[in-house]
Amino acid sequence: MGAGRKALARLVAVGGDTPQFHLLMAKALLSRSDDKKAIDELKKAEASDANLPFLHFNFGLAYLHLEDSKQRKTSFERISQRNRICLQPRATGNLY
């Protein structure tokens, strides 16, 4: 078993089915440009903890990569609603 597989097996053993684990997996998938699988992991995280820090930011990032402007806008608006900050919908397309 390679080092990467050992590390993943250890993460699964320690993290299990926690929202934090699913967020971490989603971030790893996003870094590999596997946006659809990342969204699946983010949905699992959201099902357990919809207020998880950076959850909706990562949703927005995944939808940005997939060029889904409606879902991207909704995700970034959730950030501004939860944190009471102002994000203009036109500006979110320029984040990355």
pLDDT tens-digit series, residues 4-41: 677 667 766 776 789 999 999 999 999 999 999 999 99
Write out the residue range of the structural domain in which residue 15 sits: 3-92
pLDDT at 96 over 60: no
pTM over cut 0.75: no
- Rounded distance, CA 92 to CA 48, Å? 26
Residues in the chain: 96
- CATH number at 55 reads 1.25.40
67: left (phi over 0), alpha (psi -120 to 50) or beta: left
Q: Quickly tell me which residue has 């995700």 as its tokens.
A: 75
Structurally, the chain folds into a number of domains equal to 1
